[in-house]
Structure 1
Amino acid sequence: MLVQNPPSIPTLALALLVCRSRKVKLVIDWHNLGYSNLALKLGHSHPLVQLAKVYEQRMGRFAHYHFAVTNAMCAVLESQFGIQGAILPLHDRPSPLFVPLPDAEQIAFFTRHELTAAEVANIIASKTRVVVSSTSWTADEDFSVLLEALCNYSERATSDSPHLPELLVIITGKGPLKLHYLEKIRERESKQELEMVAIKTAWLSFEDYASLLGAADLGVSLHTSSSGVDLPMKVVDMFGAGLPVLGYNNYQSWPELVREGINGKGFSNAKQMSDIMMELFNPTSQTLNMLKEGAIQESRRRWDSEWDPVAGRLFGLTT
């Protein structure tokens, strides 16, 4: 039985009970640590978080095999969870839906979609560059960092760097903090702090989201990692679409996914983020083109090539 974690409670206990009653082996696919997600709401010192951690550690030790989404998570499972052996790294890869789009298909998407239709001519002429970020509008993704960086970019683009293009920033997703940040955006717009930036929010179908990633110029990840050892699936999808990534990098597992200066760049604060955007969108710079080439190379790494030699071999499906 293969079970993904999180959710941990009560999934791991129920899975263990079923496996023992049916005399089958339990395999846990660790995508993050459940207690660290709970800590985002309650704090690491909260008794329920500590109880959840003990539960997760003890339940995990009963599994026969483990997949971990990063090498860093493998190390945590060994050192902090006391799981010895039978831990295999199994990195996420994008679904077949996420692929790079030829130029003609990019233009077709921009032309037909209401988010971009009015800007097609400027997008084709590179007078407007398209930036996309998906977010769940939760505490582990600090949208204020992106908003501050965009205000900084706009200020510099209207003063000392007039050659910079305008940015069309499309934020996809739903979540509890969305209305809070929409109000923050309106405040900045009313103060004319986003003259060179247009921010649009949307909830897209999977097909349109995949097309947007395949057509955009830059993807942004604000994922901060509750455990420090998971990976943002949104970056995996962006690479699947051949989209270079600018992402928050101040956690342990970031280098396992993004190769700095090859397929993306990392930041730890708004100032670094705006500086990188200035570099990437400077018409005289080739950095964004280089990152695009790296992201295209990364897009060729697909699920089968990761799954078959690890999980496929464990389950006896491949040799």
Structure 2
Amino acid sequence: MLVQNPPSIPTLLVVSLVCFFRGTRLVVDWHNFGYSILALKLGPNHPMVQVSKLYEMTFAKAANANFTVTNAMAKVLKSDFVTKAPVLTLHDRPADLYQPLANSERIAFLQRYPLLAEHFNPIVDGKVRLVVSSTSWTADEDFGIFLDALCSYSASATSSHPQLPELAVVITGKGPQKQYYLDKIKELRSGDSLEMVNIYTDWLSFEDYALLLGSADLGVSLHTSSSGVDLPMKVVDMFGAGLPVAGWSNFAAWPELVTENVNGRGFSSAEGLADILRELFDPDSEQLSHLKKGARLESKRRWGGEWDNIAGKLFGLVS
């Protein structure tokens, strides 16, 4: 039986009991730790968080084998959870839906995408740069950092760096903090803090989201990692579309996904992100072009090879 964690409660208890009574081998696919996600809401020292961690550590020992999404997570599972079962790193890879686009495909999508209609010609001509980010608008992604960086970029573009292009920023997703940030964006616009930046929010089908990623110049990830050892799937999808990434990098597992100055850039502050935007979008710079080449190369890494190499061998499906 293969089960993904989280959700941890009551999943790990139920599958452990079922596997025990049926004599079935249990494999847990660790994408994160449930207790670390709960800690975002309650705080790391809350009794429920401590109980959740003990619960997870206890039932982890029932597994006959484990997959983790990062090497860093594998180390935690072996050291803190003290599991004696095999722990194999199975990195996430993009679904086939996410693919680099030919220029004709990019133009075709932008032509029919109403949200960016007024920017169509400038985006195609490279006079406006398209930036995309996705979020669930939750506490583990501080979009205030992104807004501060965009304000700093806009201030530079209207003063010390007049060569910088205008930005069209599309943020996709739904979640509890969305209205808070929409109000903040409205406030910044009224104060002329986003003179060179146009921000839009949207909710797209999987197909159109994949096309939007393939049409963009840069993807931005604000995922901060509740455990420090998980990775944002959104970055995996961006790489699948051949899109270079600027992402929050202040956690242990980040280097397992992004190779600095090859397919993306990491930041740990709003001004750090603003510096990246200024550097990449400077018309005299070739950095963005270099990162795009790296991201397209990264897009060739797919589920087939990863799964067959790791899971396929464990399950005896591949020799």
- Tell me if TM exceeds 0.5: yes
Q: Secondary structure at the match of 2:114?
A: coil
Q: How do 1:287-306 and structure 2 match up within 5 A?
A: 287-306=287-306
Partner of 1:3: 3
Partner of 1:278: 278
User: Counterpart amino acid of 2:119?
Assistant: E
Q: Secondary structure at the match of 1:132?
A: strand
Are residues 1:53 and 2:47 paired? no
User: Counterpart amino acid of 1:283?
Assistant: P
User: Counterpart amino acid of 1:6?
Assistant: P
Are residues 1:64 and 2:96 paired? no
Q: How do 1:132-147 and structure 2 match up within 5 A?
A: 132-147=132-147
User: Counterpart amino acid of 1:311?
Assistant: A
User: Counterpart amino acid of 1:162?
Assistant: P
Q: How do 1:19-34 and structure 2 match up within 5 A?
A: 19-34=19-34
Partner of 2:165: 165
User: Counterpart amino acid of 1:69?
Assistant: V
Deviations 1:243-289 (A, max 9, x none): 00000000000000000000000000000100110000000000000
Are residues 1:108 and 2:100 paired? no
Partner of 2:208: 208
User: Counterpart amino acid of 2:272?
Assistant: Q
Q: Is the contact between residue 63 and residue 85 of structure 2 (CA under 8 Å) also seen in structure 1?
A: no
Alpha-carbon distance between aligned partners in 1 of 2:116 and 2:311, rounded to the nearest angstrom: 41
Alpha-carbon distance between aligned partners in 2 of 1:117 and 1:209, rounded to the nearest angstrom: 16
Alpha-carbon distance between aligned partners in 1 of 2:239 and 2:124, rounded to the nearest angstrom: 22
User: Counterpart amino acid of 1:28?
Assistant: V
More displaced, 13-22 or 280-289? 13-22
Superposition deviation, residue 309 in structure 1 = 1.1
Q: How do 1:1-319 and structure 2 match up within 5 A?
A: 1-319=1-319
Superposition deviation, residue 84 in structure 1 = 2.6
Alpha-carbon distance between aligned partners in 1 of 2:106 and 2:151, rounded to the nearest angstrom: 27
Q: Secondary structure at the match of 2:115?
A: coil
Superposition deviation, residue 202 in structure 1 = 0.4
Deviations 1:125-184 (A, max 9, x none): 111000000001000000000000000000000111111110000000000000001000
Q: Is the contact between residue 35 and residue 52 of structure 2 (CA under 8 Å) also seen in structure 1?
A: yes
Superposition deviation, residue 18 in structure 1 = 1.0
The size of the alignment, in residue pairs, is: 319
Percent sequence identity is 61
Alpha-carbon distance between aligned partners in 2 of 1:38 and 1:50, rounded to the nearest angstrom: 10
Alpha-carbon distance between aligned partners in 1 of 2:24 and 2:79, rounded to the nearest angstrom: 27
Deviations 1:200-229 (A, max 9, x none): 000000000000001100000000000000
Superposition deviation, residue 316 in structure 1 = 1.1
Q: Is the contact between residue 247 and residue 267 of structure 2 (CA under 8 Å) also seen in structure 1?
A: yes
Alpha-carbon distance between aligned partners in 1 of 2:18 and 2:114, rounded to the nearest angstrom: 49
Alpha-carbon distance between aligned partners in 2 of 1:117 and 1:303, rounded to the nearest angstrom: 35
Tell me the TM-score normalised to structure 1 length: 0.99
User: Counterpart amino acid of 1:171?
Assistant: I
Q: Is the contact between residue 64 and residue 85 of structure 2 (CA under 8 Å) also seen in structure 1?
A: no
Alpha-carbon distance between aligned partners in 1 of 2:251 and 2:143, rounded to the nearest angstrom: 17
Q: Is the contact between residue 174 and residue 203 of structure 2 (CA under 8 Å) also seen in structure 1?
A: yes
User: Counterpart amino acid of 2:288?
Assistant: L
Alpha-carbon distance between aligned partners in 1 of 2:244 and 2:225, rounded to the nearest angstrom: 20
CA RMSD of aligned residues (A): 0.6
Superposition deviation, residue 306 in structure 1 = 0.4
Superposition deviation, residue 15 in structure 1 = 0.5
Alpha-carbon distance between aligned partners in 1 of 2:21 and 2:114, rounded to the nearest angstrom: 54
| Structure 1: gaps of 5 or more residues | none
Q: Secondary structure at the match of 1:116?
A: helix
